[in-house]
């Protein structure tokens, strides 16, 4: 059946908080051209309808300036919103398009209502390990939670466990760098290990290096330490050092860190071209 789009109100228990505006605009254009393929799911509430599943489609239909929208009406839920929250959470989990922190907050609330993570896992059909990993995200500072929720960081059990060993300031610093630079989980793990080893990321003294590591240039490890560097023009060397010093990872730079940077490879190609 079709109902007036303005008679629908958002689910007050909707666990999802992130909706990409560009994706909504693209979906709105598709709906204009092809119509709404899958109806949204609503629940009767007097002369209105509460949205249960399909808020992204409902928002896109509003952008497309539709007056009516196709809906599937389900029976009313209990008054405490538990069923609405559960239905919305299940719908989002099945589509895998929900932010992991939004998911964690919903799990946390449902556990308070249901009584245990085991009971919740059975009700939702997800593993306890998944619930536990998501709940761990709620222990991080707000900026880190936001990065996880935006999927700028991988929800990796080992990395999350390692991150929990850092203090909030370190967590925010490394998470921001990982998201900005697109680090893999393995790279982030290496940086976490280095930070823990150095007691916060700043070396207290000269770093111990094994035989395979490259010797720092002038007491500091930078891109020039990854290559010969001595045959490069002085202005190129100076520019490289200045670039490295501007990097937020410069104080704890090492082979493990700098090999993730494109600058050493660029300098190596410049050196080869000059000497050719």
- 53: helix, coil or strand? strand
- Contact 98/56 with Cβ under 8 angstroms? no
Q: Which of 25, 44, 55, 65 is catalytic?
A: 55
What is the distance between the terminal CA atoms of the chain, rounded to a whole angstrom?
74
User: What's the rounded Cα separation, in Å, for the pair 225 and 204?
Assistant: 21
Q: Is 55 a catalytic residue?
A: yes
Of 230, 260, 224, 259, whose CA–CA distance to 243 is shortest? 224
- Contact 37/78 with Cβ under 8 angstroms? no
* Structure-token match 């290096």, residue found: 209
Of 89, 18, 74, whose CA–CA distance to 42 is shortest? 74
User: What's the rounded Cα separation, in Å, for the pair 25 and 20?
Assistant: 9
H/E run at residue 51: strand 48-53
- 93: helix, coil or strand? helix
User: What's the rounded Cα separation, in Å, for the pair 50 and 54?
Assistant: 11
Backbone dihedral angles phi then psi of residue 37, each to the nearest 5 degrees: -75, -45
Residues involved in catalysis: 55
């Amino acid at each position: 059946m079709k109902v007036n789009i303005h008679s629908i109100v958002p689910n007050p228990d909707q666990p999802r908080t992130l909706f990409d505006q560009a994706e909504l605009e693209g979906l709105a254009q598709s709906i204009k051209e092809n119509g709404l393929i899958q109806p949204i799911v609503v629940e009767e509430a007097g002369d209105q309808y509460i949205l249960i599943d399909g808020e992204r489609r409902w928002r896109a239909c509003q952008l497309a300036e539709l007056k009516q929208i196709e809906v599937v009406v389900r029976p009313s839920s209990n008054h405490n919103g538990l069923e609405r929250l559960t239905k919305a959470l299940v719908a989002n989990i099945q589509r895998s398009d929900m932010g992991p922190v939004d998911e964690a907050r919903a799990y946390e609330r449902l556990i308070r209502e249901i009584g245990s993570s085991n009971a919740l896992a059975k009700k939702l059909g997800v593993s306890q390990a998944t619930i536990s990993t998501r709940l761990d995200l709620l222990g991080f500072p707000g900026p880190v939670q936001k990065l996880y929720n935006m999927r700028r960081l991988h929800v990796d059990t080992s990395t999350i466990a390692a991150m929990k060993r850092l203090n909030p300031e370190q967590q925010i610093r490394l998470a921001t760098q990982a998201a900005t630079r697109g680090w893999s989980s393995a790279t982030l793990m290496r940086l976490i290990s280095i930070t823990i080893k150095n007691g916060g990321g700043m070396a207290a003294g000269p770093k111990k290096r094994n035989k395979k590591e490259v010797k720092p240039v002038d007491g500091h490890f930078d891109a020039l330490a990854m290559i010969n560097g001595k045959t490069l023009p002085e202005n190129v060397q100076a520019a490289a050092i200045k670039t490295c010093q501007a990097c937020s990872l410069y104080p704890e730079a090492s082979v493990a860190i700098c090999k993730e940077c494109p600058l050493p490879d660029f300098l190596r190609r410049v050196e080869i071209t000059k000497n050719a």
